[in-house]
Structure 1
Amino acid sequence: MIDIVNQINATHREIGDLPVATGEGRSLLLRRTYDAAIEDVWDACTDPDRISRWLAPVEGDLRLGGTYQLKGNAGGEILRCEKPTLLKVTWALGPGMDTELEVRLAPGDGGGTLLELEHSSPAAIVDELVRTYGPGGTIGVGGGWDLTVLALDLFLNGVDFDPETWENTPEAREFATQSCHAWGAVIQAAWNVSDEDIAAAIAFGVQHFAPAEDANG
Structure 2
Amino acid sequence: MIDVINQINATQREIGNQAVATGEGRSVLLRRVYDAPIEDVWSACTDLERLGRWLGQVEGDLRVGGTFQLKDNAGGEILRCEKPRLIKVTWVFGEGMPTEVEVRLAPGDDGRTIFELEHASPAQIVDELVRTYGPGGTIGIGCGWDLALLGLDLFLNGVTFDPATWQDTPEGKEFAVRSCHAWGPPIQAAWGTGDDDISAAVAFAVRHFAPETSGDR
SS at match of 2:193: coil
Residue in 2 that maps onto 1:48: 48
SS at match of 1:154: helix
Contact 1:69-1:75 within 8 A present in 2 as well: yes
Q: Give TM-score scaled by structure 2 length.
A: 0.95
Identify which range, 198-207 or 142-151, moves more after superposition.
198-207
Runs of 4+, deviation exceeding 4 Å: none
Which digits, 9 at most, give the CA deviation of each residue in 1:84-142, with x for residues without a partner?
00000000002352100000000013430000000001111111211111011001111
Residue in 1 that maps onto 2:184: 184
* Distance (Å, rounded) in 1 between the aligned partners of 2:130 and 2:62: 34
SS at match of 2:111: coil
SS at match of 1:100: strand
* Distance (Å, rounded) in 2 between the aligned partners of 1:168 and 1:59: 25
Residue in 1 that maps onto 2:211: 211
Residue in 1 that maps onto 2:38: 38
SS at match of 2:69: strand
Residue in 2 that maps onto 1:10: 10
Following superposition, the deviation at residue 192 of structure 1 comes to: 1.2
Corresponding letter in the other structure for 2:161: F
Corresponding letter in the other structure for 1:142: G
SS at match of 2:76: strand
Corresponding letter in the other structure for 2:122: P
Identify which range, 74-83 or 52-61, moves more after superposition.
52-61
Which digits, 9 at most, give the CA deviation of each residue in 1:155-187, with x for residues without a partner?
000011111211121111211111111101110
Corresponding letter in the other structure for 2:45: C
Residue in 1 that maps onto 2:201: 201
Q: Identical aligned pairs, as a percentage?
A: 73
Q: Give TM-score scaled by structure 1 length.
A: 0.95
Alignment pair present for 1:73 and 2:84: no
SS at match of 2:80: strand
Contact 1:168-1:211 within 8 A present in 2 as well: no
Residue in 2 that maps onto 1:88: 88
SS at match of 1:118: strand
Unaligned runs of 5+ in 1: none
Contact 1:13-1:186 within 8 A present in 2 as well: yes
* Distance (Å, rounded) in 2 between the aligned partners of 1:69 and 1:152: 18
Which digits, 9 at most, give the CA deviation of each residue in 1:42-79, with x for residues without a partner?
00000000001111111112211010000001100000
Aligned length: 213
SS at match of 1:175: helix
Alignment pair present for 1:57 and 2:57: yes
Residue in 2 that maps onto 1:150: 150
